[in-house]
Amino acid sequence: MGIREQLRQHREKILKRWFESILETYPAETVRFLKNTKDQFHNPVGQTIKEGIEGIFVELTGEGEIEKITPFLDRIIRIR
């Protein structure tokens, strides 16, 4: 089994940790909001971060082109 397959098997854990790592850069009150507000219209920042890290994960673990990661990173970086 290759590294990509191993990463795919742990997808949810990895994405959760990435999300938490990003949230650690925000103040505590903001973290609570971003974690607990699930509605994408009330929490577009949290939604953008989740979509971004999922897209990055898919491209890193697939046979896709690495250049496809740029738009996902761009959206996350623009939030900051």
Tell me: the pLDDT tens digits for 13-72? 999 999 999 999 999 999 999 999 999 999 999 999 999 999 999 998 987 677 889 999
Nearest to 52 by CA among 13, 9, 22, 7: 22
Whole-number pLDDT of residue 11: 95
Contact between 48 and 79 under an 8 Å Cβ cutoff? The reply is yes
Helix axes 69-79, 44-61, angle to 10 degrees: 150
Whole-number pLDDT of residue 65: 76
**Burial call 45-59: b when 16+ CB within 10 Å, e when fewer:** ebbbbbebbebbbeb
pTM recorded for the entire structure = 0.86
